[in-house]
Amino acid sequence: MSSQAGERLVARGGLPCGRVRVAGDKSISHRAAMFGALAEGETRITGFLAGEDCLATLTAFRRMGVATEGPDTGGNLRIAGVGLDGLQPPEEPLAMGNSGTSMRLLAGLLAGQHFPTVLTGDASLRNRPMNRVAEPLTRMGARIRAEGEGGRPPLRIEPAPDLKGRHHVLEVASAQVKSALMLAGLYADGETCVTEPAPTRDHTERMLAAFGYPISRDGATVCLDGGGRLGGTDLAIPGDLSSATFFLVAAAIIPGAELTIEEVGINPTRRGGLDILRAMGADIREANPRTLGGEPVADLEVRGGRLHGINIPTQTVPLAIDEFPALFVAAAAAEGRTVLREAEELRVKESDRIQVMAYGLQALGVAAEPLADGIVIDGGAMSGGKVDAHGDHRVAMAFAVASVVAEGPIEVTGAEAIRTSFPDFLDVVERAGLRVATITEGSNHG
């Protein structure tokens, strides 16, 4: 959670207006890289997110012998798939940077290979729990060990030629765990099923289908048989709703704002943040709904106004899990109290998002009380001030957009992490009419 070296933002607000596009969807880009690499034949992708997290996934496949071209500035990427059994042993440990999705999904995929691998990451990732994937994978016969203290990275994976399909009943609602088990299931003997305690993002299921791999769903359970094949395909990746949420919030909390965010994914398993903002009184319209790359998309039109606090319905939590830093800013700008419970997962994201957001909001004069599993925020006036994003991309972006209602500039340290998921955030912010400048700290700070 260090943010000593790196970038500082100074955000001075503005009135969001006009039309913008946000970066490609991070979750879908990871999966496109993975399935493209494992497919037979070429996969051509548009809208691939060239953020550090997805590039970590792509680089891992390059190190395992997969040829790729791109991504260029338009997110065009070609992957020459090697087939499910075509990966080559990497020469060194695979570095996953800040990306939990890369590490957890690759853990499942690599459990079925004929060569050993080690997965490692930056200080934040090395602090995140990995037994949630290592334990169920071990029950399939995988030989995988989280070598850090308390089940943390690095992950050491030894070849396990005889993975067995089985039925997993998950305790945590996690698309990363579900996806890791399904990826291992591609290499397992027999059927692998995963039952989830609550719906989580279903991009893996949709994309397997897009690559021609048979998969079935019955209620909360999804199943596939090992030993099939993936066929290379063409894929268009929509804008990331999680990235769009910073702009939805920026516009929703200030009367007079009028902003359209084009071609954003509105998958039902991701749209909890939209529903929460609407329940707080936000005026958001989904224009021009259509399908792109097997995913529902729309242009999101938001008009600013006054929001009010709510008790966030607990069933929306997994459907909005990445949106809470931005939603806490909306709560701080709203009238009245917002209460979030049953969201302890936020404590094991890229930072402890409950504590880090509470510290930041308090530094801006907002009454924010962290709870073990959530937060209570009393909306009201927000001052300017200094906050530390603790190297968490979504925390940094949330405080940058909070400046639209703050009484003075907001300085955010640890903002370099924005490159993990939204490398052109500053350009998009500027196009939306906000004033955010970045300052690179001298090396003597690092």
* Token pair of 358 as six digits: 């509470």
Residues 43-102 that bind ligand S3P (CB under 6 A): 101
Residue 5: φ, ψ to 5°: -80, 160
Q: Are 92 and 65 in contact (CB under 8 A)?
A: no
Q: How many Å apart are CA 402 and CA 406, to the nearest integer?
A: 6
Active site annotation includes 322: yes
Instruction: Return the number of the residue (8 or 394) whose C-beta is nearest ligand S3P.
Output: 394
| 168 near ligand S3P (CB under 6 A) | no
Query: How does 299-332 read in b/e, with b if 16+ C-beta sit within 10 Å?
Result: bbbbebeebebbebeeebbbbbbbbbbbbbbbbb
Binding to ligand S3P by residue 270, rule CB under 6 A? no
Distance CA 283, CA 260 (A): 12
CB of 407 to ligand S3P, least distance (A): 32
| Residue 309 Cβ vs ligand S3P, minimum distance, rounded to whole Å | 24
- Which of the ranges 171-179, 186-194, 207-215, 395-403 carries the binding residues for ligand S3P, by CB under 6 A? 171-179
Cis before residue 89, ω within 30 degrees of 0? no
Nearer to ligand S3P, 179 or 338 (CB): 179
- Write the DSSP symbol of residue 366: -
Instruction: In whole angstroms, give the CA distance from residue 76 to residue 73.
Output: 7
Among 102, 113, 174, 243, binds ligand S3P (CB under 6 A): 174
137 or 259: whose CB is closer to ligand S3P? Answer: 137
127 binds ligand S3P (CB under 6 A): no
Does position 201 interact with ligand S3P (CB under 6 A)? The reply is yes
Which of 122, 202, 322, 411: binder of ligand S3P (CB under 6 A)? 322
Query: Judged by CB under 6 A, does residue 179 bind ligand S3P?
Result: yes
Instruction: Count the residues of the shown chain that bind ligand S3P, applying the rule CB under 6 A.
Output: 12
Catalytic-labelled residue, pool 25, 53, 122, 322: 322
Residue 109 within binding range of ligand S3P, rule CB under 6 A:
no
Sheet holding 295-303, edge to edge: 17-21, 258-265, 295-303, 283-292
- Asked if 321 is part of the footprint of ligand S3P (rule: CB under 6 A), the reply reads yes
Q: Does 402 bind ligand S3P (CB under 6 A)?
A: no
Closest distance of CB 259 from ligand S3P, Å: 24
Binders of ligand S3P in range 14-43 (CB under 6 A): 27, 30
Beta strands in 149-282 (DSSP E): 152-158, 167-169, 191-195, 216-218, 221-225, 234-236, 258-265
Say if residue 122 is exposed, middle or buried (CB neighbours under 10 Å; 0-12, 13-18, 19+).
Answer: buried
Smallest separation (angstroms) from ligand S3P to the CB of 350: 8
For residue 437, what are its two tokens? 């400048």
The footprint of ligand S3P (CB under 6 A) covers 27, 30, 101, 174-176, 179, 200-201, 321-322, 345
